[in-house]
Copies of this chain bind each other. A is one copy, B any other.
Amino acid sequence: MSEFVQSLDRGLAVIRAFDAEHPALTLSDVARITGLTRAAARRFLLTLVELGYVRTDGKLFSLRPRILELGFSYLSALTLPEVAQPHMEKLVATVHESCSMSVLDDEDVVYVARVPTKRIMTVSITVGTRFPAYATAMGRVLLAAQPRERLDGYLRDVRLKPLTRATITDPAVLRATLSEVGAQGWALVDQELEEGLRSVAVPVHGADGHVVAAVNVSAHANRGNATTVLEDLLPHLRATAKLIEEDLLTPA
């Protein structure tokens, strides 16, 4: 594409170079991570400093809070997380497990709301975290709600990587599973994304009846087995989704 603005692409790559494991980077780090020359990395970093998105002590660079305004212009336009959050909080207070909400973006689920319980796992999931849809309960709920053609395209193109020993990697098995998820209205994923993690998810329908998001509850594998997870958590999760859907019908 001749009109592609390469400088924008590269500047955004510099922003993405910073993450939870690398909150502070030298110029050389940024050049290495982004594949830019040091001179180019320096120009982008200094531009971001000038714009108030990056701070530096002359050696180390790190993101400044202003960077949040980029992602949050999207989030603040979504009423969904705001509507869902109070209901998700009540659910977490009841079941003492973390609750999340996500939407589908290409082949990934992206978290748009999250109410963590006390941290027992080192996994750090925040709003904005992405996981491959096929290996998550929320992803399966969202995939199951896709029009037939989109689902066919997804199953044709996706690479089903074994993230654990349990991950479904056969597209035909995944298709059958998604059928079942669509019919029963919930998905349970048992340690397919990560060992020791089970998750159950249900869809959230918008005012027009379409699935607009999924909500889940995830539990450490030391909480009983898959059956007890379903028995303990699914009824509460369904009730929460219903309350969210009711609120979506009656905007404040």
Residue numbers of A with Cβ under 8 A of B are 1, 3-5, 7-12, 15-16, 18-20, 22-23, 42-44, 46-48, 50-53, 62-77, 82, 85-86, 89, 92-93, 103, 105-106, 110, 112, 115-119, 122, 124, 126-130, 252
Cα distance, A48 to B23, chains bound together (Å): 25
Specify which chain B residues have a CB less than 8 angstroms from the CB of A106 in the assembled complex.
52, 66
Chain B: minimal CB distance from A70 (Å) = 4
Docked CA distance A23–B50 (Å): 27
B110 adjacent to A51 (CB under 8 Å): no
Give the interface centre of A12, A89, A92 by most chain B CB atoms within 10 Å: A12
Copies of this protein in the complex:
2
The 3 closest A-B pairs by CB, nearest first: A71-B71, A72-B128, A68-B128
Chain B residues with CB below 8 A from A105, complex form:
52, 64-66
Q: What are 23 pairs between A and B in contact, CB < 8 Å?
A: A3-B46, A5-B7, A8-B51, A9-B47, A11-B11, A16-B69, A16-B73, A20-B73, A23-B77, A62-B77, A66-B105, A67-B70, A67-B71, A68-B75, A68-B112, A69-B130, A71-B128, A72-B126, A75-B128, A76-B129, A82-B116, A89-B89, A122-B252
Chain B residues contacting A22 (CB-CB under 8 Å) are: 77
The docked-state distance in angstroms from the alpha carbon of A103 to that of B147 is 44
Return A219 CB to nearest CB of chain B, in Å.
17
A110–B63 Cα gap in the complex (Å)? 13
Q: Is the CB of A110 within 8 A of B75?
A: no
Docked pose: A48 CA to B119 CA in angstroms: 36
Smallest Cβ-Cβ distance to A89: which chain B residue: B89
Assuming the contacts A11-B8, A20-B77, A118-B86, asked whether A69 and B69 have C-beta atoms less than 8 A apart, the reply is no
A7 in contact with B4 (CB, 8 Å): no
Query: When the two chains form their complex, are residues A15 and B46 in contact, meaning their CB atoms are under 8 A apart?
Result: no
Q: Which residue of B lies closest to A53 (CB)?
A: B12
Q: Is the CB–CB distance between B119 and A19 below 8 Å?
A: no
Chain B residues with CB under 8 A of A46: 1, 3-4
Distance A85 CA – B75 CA, assembled complex (angstroms): 18
Closest to A51 in B: B9
